[in-house]
Structure 1
């Protein structure tokens, strides 16, 4: 993330990590998490439907949601339930009708039985054990009078009984095909609608905020869902269409940056570099790792520890990133990131000379350049004037003077990182 060759890919991978929320603190096996991350990277620009099929049998997911203990004699519904509720369909469609029943969860869990994890010679893989698989017939998405009376009969899928392991091994894949073929009570592709809505929330804004979802919001989602289906469920195709929507650039799109976006984005925009000595910035576990108060790193203190979401529902995001404690941690980050030690100036990870041209510059030009660099940020005249005045009465000022850098320019960067405008997209 700090030095990506493809920043757009990194953001898609972050979305997938949040979507298929899997926690290192429970899996407790770094190799499993690394393998899952590699899976996200392999499919980030590919077929999302195929990714879900791979997630079904991903070792980290099998461990996280008890798939490895899902057997014909003792079926475990944890993964099947989250597969439908959080990963593909959602509980309700846009008309407020249920997309699936508890019976569907049970039947899906039976289709997913028999998968185990093998660790051998430093490698891990999932494998199919026919002896643990439910060989009987299963039916999903049949109309249920109590839970899904309006279920479209065309959604119903029946998996025939089999004793053939070569057939049963792909049952989990046919389950995903059935899920992605599901149509809601309005006849729309349920999974595409659900997933596009999550993508829109992640990249633009949450339609349920600001007085609720409007008909216009639903039309945008439906238009993008059509693109998603037509593309073969390629996320980049949806994003391309999304970025061309006028609604994407509306004022409602101002959402709060996540801790990852705040920290990593700041490091990249300020051109921070790895150093030795006092400021081993990229390696500083307070900022990026697992140290600090309560055993959490800096981003963890802000509310987001990568590879360790709080639960299967992932991080709530947006306004939930802004708490008194989280803002304090952001202020601490800004102070540490922008610190310039007078006695060891070469140790600073961020150097103002990388951001401004040499020589003397007018105070207003310095402020305007940094606001453009870190956004561009649009601030009101009073805020801009306050930032200019912070630099002192001298005008212009020598941006290469060490005292100016230590006592004026680096603190100015810190102030900008704490502006309300900097915390939102």
Structure 2
């Protein structure tokens, strides 16, 4: 049986959970049931459906309600700030910076809301993938939003086209010095990362300034190809669009090295960057390079010679055959026998972990008011940042180490600082309590609906069935009877099983009995709060 043959086993809840966990953020019993009903093929197709883009982020902070709070002059509460002027008209830089920070917080919270509310869709997972692939950083909220908007709009689409758009994105031009790249002082920052990190990879050193897939000479020549592109200062009304200045562009033909068959890039003004990207993508290694990134993101970290031959190479050919449309290759991978053999081998990223502790437990940001909804989502952002996965703020241009740094890969998410916090954060989401983030305490109420969770488990009045049902939902595989017996202690505390059966049955018969309700709820909360601290919950 070939690695990439379509999975032929029974399409079960277990297999559906594996697929949905790897391709989205957190799962619910209803999503799993929907996938089981759809079947493998229809679920994968649904993951790649083009759905409407989310509504843009909103202003959620109540101006004027706190000391020193500044009114955003261009946006009312509950409206989006995305269409407002990028440079607020305010008398002082301090007031302007407060508005910027408020919009930043809105953007970060909104990003988590999109991930949590994604349903059966791979778009948000791929948006985060591209965010980690084309790393770019800027503190201006508008530039951050429009950079991420490019990634989201192209998340399911064409790798080559996305590379072209990102190359002249103002956020990227500023981050990797493209804005400073001009004919009398070429800057090689972006051309180097374009080759090494974004498209083809460096490979082994073959000689002085010569690598497996490009040379230092190519870095210099491609930098010259890219000269002339600029981003305006944020005070300019057109600050969100890059522009080309012909007099800063290096004129004439540029000849690349033997790694690109000494191809000549003809002078082509503001279209020349597209020509060189087309040339880079003619190299077959581009397709292998991106498939390896997808493999580490969706399957597992280690890529053996066997995997290179039987997974990477055929998927790379599929990418090339489809002119760098990514969906056909990813559909093959996510439908394959190989994908369903690689389970429980990935330590959850902080974002996967925190959204598993909310969405998988039927809890989403409260929608009573926009402020409450965004406040809680922003708290998730802060928690993930504290756990060393901060969206919009990568440690460096190579992205998060979990996806490239050998030999640890995903193990980099867990260290002496982050592990206690991972465990504590998960428990607090369930039981309520205080999150300590960057020396500041945040009070979290016990909002996970544990009573509702129990009602969705068949025969929950049986403590064995309850624990195993929860384990299946949270861990996706069976736990040992010893573990079941240990976890039952949170329900019966050394008493016979029927004690829980009687108490839970009494509660179901008398749900308005507040004392009985509180007793059952507390036991469930302690049980689930313990289970999300188990090592089994940390992996997927």
Pairwise TM-score range, normalised by the shorter structure: 0.7 to 0.9
Aligned twin of 2:450: 352
The structure 2 residue matched to 1:125, chosen from 241, 251, 255, is 241
Aligned twin of 1:160: 266
For the pair 1:78 / 2:189, whether they are aligned, the reply is yes
The structural deviation recorded for 1:330 is 1.2
Aligned twin of 1:417: 532
| Correspondences of 1:255-266 after superposition (within 5 Å) | 255-266=346-357
1:33/1:307 contact within 8 Å kept: yes
SS in 2 for 1:324: coil
Aligned twin of 1:374: 474
The structure 1 residue matched to 2:336, chosen from 236, 245, 254, is 245
Aligned twin of 1:232: 323
Aligned twin of 1:3: 117
The structure 2 residue matched to 1:205, chosen from 287, 297, 300, is 300
The structural deviation recorded for 1:249 is 2.4
- Separation in 2, partners of 1:308, 1:384: 41
- Separation in 1, partners of 2:205, 2:306: 11
For the pair 1:270 / 2:361, whether they are aligned, the reply is yes
- Separation in 1, partners of 2:365, 2:212: 51
The structural deviation recorded for 1:287 is 3.3
- Separation in 2, partners of 1:30, 1:235: 29
| Stretch moving more, 229-238 or 74-83 | 229-238
- Separation in 1, partners of 2:238, 2:365: 31
- Separation in 2, partners of 1:373, 1:202: 22
Cα deviation per residue 1:159-200 (whole Å; 9 max; x = unaligned)? 224xxxxx3101111111000002xxxxxx110000000100
- Separation in 2, partners of 1:360, 1:4: 29
The structure 2 residue matched to 1:307, chosen from 392, 414, 435, is 392
The structural deviation recorded for 1:348 is 3.6
2:131/2:151 contact within 8 Å kept: yes
The 3 A distance-change label for structure 1 pair 95 and 409 is farther
| Stretch moving more, 199-208 or 91-100 | 91-100
1:363/1:395 contact within 8 Å kept: yes
For the pair 1:99 / 2:205, whether they are aligned, the reply is no
1:108/1:175 contact within 8 Å kept: yes
SS in 2 for 1:131: helix
2:365/2:376 contact within 8 Å kept: no
Unpaired stretches in structure 2, ≥5 consecutive residues: 1-114, 403-409, 434-443
- Separation in 2, partners of 1:152, 1:274: 51
1:70/1:114 contact within 8 Å kept: yes
SS in 1 for 2:395: coil
The structure 1 residue matched to 2:523, chosen from 408, 415, 421, is 408
TM-score, length of structure 1 as denominator length: 0.84
The structural deviation recorded for 1:246 is 2.1
Count how many residue pairs are aligned between Structure 1 and Structure 2: 385
The structural deviation recorded for 1:99 is 0.6
Aligned twin of 2:129: 15
Cα deviation per residue 1:291-320 (whole Å; 9 max; x = unaligned)? xxxxxx211111101111110011011110
